[in-house]
Amino acid sequence: MSFRNEFELLLKARYPLVYIATREEERVESAIAHSAKLLGNRAVYVWDFVQGYQGNPNDAGFAKRNPLQALELVEKLPGTASAVFVLRDFNRFLEDVAVARKLRNLARLLKSQPKNVVLLATQVAIPEDLSEVLTVLNFPLPVPQEIKTEVERLLAALGRPLEARVLDELVRSCQGLSMERIYRVLARAIATHGELRPEHVDLVLEEKRQTIRQTQILEFYPASENISDIGGLDNLKDWLLRRGGAFSERARQYGLPHPRGLLLVGIQGTGKSLTAKAIAHHWHLPLLRLDVGRLFAGLVGESESRTRQMIQLAEALAPCILWVDEIDKAFSGLNGRGDAGTTSRVFGTFITWLAEKTSPVFVVATANNIEILPPEMLRKGRFDEIFFVGLPTQEERQAIFAVHLSRLRSHNLSSYDLDRLAYETPDFSGAEIEQTIIEAMHIGFSQNRDFTTDDILEAASQTVPLARTAQDQVQFLQDWAAAGKARLASKHSSLSCRIQQQLQRA
């Protein structure tokens, strides 16, 4: 149901107090005015703290700097008068005992009158004593058709139409921005060149990055890694390559649903984060990185509001990849946290969205410690697949060495003994292999020569891999995966052989 349909339904049903969270004040007020006109041409009164009531000459300036008086006007109007009262930034006054009491009184009174009070705020922050009388309504970001209408209106004013393909690309790039930001970035483009051009898509993308940075929740992450940059993990790569076209219109016509996402579980440094970046680059989708810790804020209700904001922004930018790194640390020990249930509510909102989302947001979550991950996260339906990313085999270590050395020393890759390097580094993860190469480069650089195979082996001999320092945790993860709890990312891992042997015995 669209915002207008839902809002008009609340007006008809005489919901007395409606709370709308949005940063697009002008756009939401326009939508409210449109709905009020459709429903019997209801009067609309707009109030803010600085100017008081506006728009009506009889009440111009009334209740200036007085939120309690602003509510009193609602009672002063005749009981039969149909009206909508829009109160800007009113969430700032809800903690005042007189304002809260007045709102509860109005909630009773307005059930029998054709009047509605709309509180506008930038985020949801409702005191407990008002939670039963306020109805929260979300105001979504502009949909593609709305954006297209506004862009076409601008083009008509300029008298310079755009090619249909470029127009669609421009509209798609604007998704996820507020209408105010869209106006601003398009005005900048027009002021620069006197028209809209295909290259102005880059301006829009930069504005989008700025918007995402300002949320301090999501990060627009550049992804330049290729699938070929991942050494090994053949099962995982095959799974991803089969879904490369799953976001296309052809896939929709075929009847395929949008891919939901995957959970990558495994030992640190085995390429889980690299995989998230490679997916975004290979599928040509924007990569949004979510720092779950930033969802949690000090004010009551703010964490839940940030979670909803994150979901709204990710869906507005869809199709996209949402990368949730180390999700196990964010939601560990849910029941033992003394935060009045905030973590549980944020977690509940997040996993419900994972299960019910219909938007093309592909979630890639990574976890190192499966023991502390809530079991609800592992239930089927949250993700398309759960992959276990274990330590690389000798063959995979050889491929990892080849990837790094071909990037650093492509001109003399043949001078390195890849077979020996892979054989001499058992239990090394991909990240640890990369660090041994960097250490070898330091050795060679300090002696004014290029680094060699022996330098890499020397660096490896001085490295104690995580598989040995955290042996119990690694063993637990391998036993968990061997029990069939997850799909193996590698085809020929030692764990894969172990599972085959267990199946043969059975």
Final residue before a domain boundary, out of 121, 138, 155: 138
Nearest to 139 by CA among 309, 306, 302, 296: 309
Residue 500 lies in a domain: no
Final residue before a domain boundary, out of 389, 406, 438: 389
- pLDDT, tens digit, for every residue of 314-330? 887 888 899 998 888 87
Give the pLDDT score at 375.
Answer: 82
Chain centre to alpha carbon of residue 19:
24
- pLDDT, tens digit, for every residue of 229-287? 887 888 998 999 888 888 877 888 899 888 999 999 988 888 888 898 888 888 878 88
Residue 60 lies in a domain: yes
Whole-number percent of the chain with pLDDT over 70: 94
Cα(388)–Cα(370) distance, integer angstroms: 10
- Three-state DSSP class for residue 113: coil
Final residue before a domain boundary, out of 191, 215, 239: 215
Residues 375 and 299 in one domain: yes
Give the pLDDT score at 402.
Answer: 93
Residues 22 and 158 in one domain: no
Give the pLDDT score at 501.
Answer: 47
Residues 173 and 302 in one domain: no
CATH code for the domain of 71: 3.40.50.300
Residues 381 and 400 in one domain: no
Measured CA distances, 78 to 4, 71, 113, 281, 348 (Å): 26, 14, 9, 62, 44
Residues 65 and 204 in one domain: no
Measured CA distances, 395 to 226, 232, 264, 467 (Å): 20, 8, 21, 18
- pLDDT, tens digit, for every residue of 446-481? 999 999 999 999 999 999 998 888 888 888 888 888
Residues 19 and 154 in one domain: no
Q: Which domain holds residue 14?
A: 3-138
Structural domain count, the chain: 4
Residues 356 and 436 in one domain: no
What integer is the mean pLDDT of 485-501?
Answer: 66
- pLDDT, tens digit, for every residue of 422-448? 999 998 999 999 999 999 999 999 999
Q: Residue 406 — pLDDT band, cuts 50, 70, 90?
A: very high
What contacts 468, CB < 8 A, 6 or more positions away?
427
CATH code for the domain of 458: 1.10.8.60
Residue 485 lies in a domain: no
- pLDDT, tens digit, for every residue of 353-366? 998 888 889 999 99
Residue 470 lies in a domain: no
Nearest to 391 by CA among 457, 330, 456, 471: 471
Residue 503 has pLDDT above 50, yes or no: no
Residues 234 and 310 in one domain: yes
Give the pLDDT score at 334.
Answer: 63
| Dihedral pair phi/psi, residue 249, rounded to 5° | -65, -30
Greatest alpha-carbon span in the chain: 91
- pLDDT, tens digit, for every residue of 14-30? 999 999 989 899 999 99
Cα(90)–Cα(87) distance, integer angstroms: 6
Residues 267 and 368: beta-carbon distance below 8 Å: yes
Establish whether the linkage from the previous residue to 465 is cis, with ω within 30° of 0: no
Residue 303 lies in a domain: yes
Residues 274 and 292 in one domain: yes
Residue 435 lies in a domain: yes
Cα(486)–Cα(389) distance, integer angstroms: 10
Whole-number percent of the chain with pLDDT over 90: 38
Residue 482 lies in a domain: no
Residues 400 and 279: beta-carbon distance below 8 Å: no
Average pLDDT, the chain: 86
Triad 89, 90, 95: Cα angle to 5°: 125
C-alpha R_g of the chain? 28
Residue 352 lies in a domain: yes
Cα(260)–Cα(361) distance, integer angstroms: 7
Cα(181)–Cα(207) distance, integer angstroms: 8
Measured CA distances, 57 to 34, 54, 61, 62, 73 (Å): 21, 8, 9, 10, 14
Q: Residue 195 — pLDDT band, cuts 50, 70, 90?
A: confident
Residues 370 and 441 in one domain: no
Residues 374 and 398 in one domain: no
Strands 17-21 and 43-48: unpaired
Q: Residue 188 — pLDDT band, cuts 50, 70, 90?
A: confident
Cα(466)–Cα(463) distance, integer angstroms: 9
Residues 421 and 290 in one domain: no
